[in-house]
Amino acid sequence: MDALENIQVLCPYCGESFDTVVDTSSTQQNYVEDCQICCSPIVFDIEIDPESDTLHYVTRQENE
Ligand SMILES: [Zn+2]
């Protein structure tokens, strides 16, 4: 798997989808990135399964 992976995320605030890039060099990540449409802070929970090279991710609102 490349070190950077393009994913399409659905904003939990405005419902719009946009593309963003995930650094897949660490297998578990949790960070906040602003929505590219409405600029709300989206929490990204990223998990990479090293055996199957599968990227799992969840997006949620910051206050949840
Ligand atoms: Zn949004």
Distance 10 CA to ligand 1 centre (A): 8
Range from 22-26, 39-43, 56-60 carrying the lowest mean pLDDT: 22-26
Q: Which residues span the domain enclosing 57?
A: 4-61
Q: What is the pLDDT of residue 45?
A: 96
Distance 18 CA to ligand 1 centre (A): 9
Distance 16 CA to ligand 1 centre (A): 6
Number of domains, the chain: 1
Which residues are found with C-beta within 5 Å of the ion, ligand 1?
11, 13-14, 35, 37-38
Q: What is the pTM of this model?
A: 0.86
Q: What is the mean pLDDT of residues 37-59?
A: 94
Would the CA dihedral through 12, 14, 18, 22 be positive or negative? negative
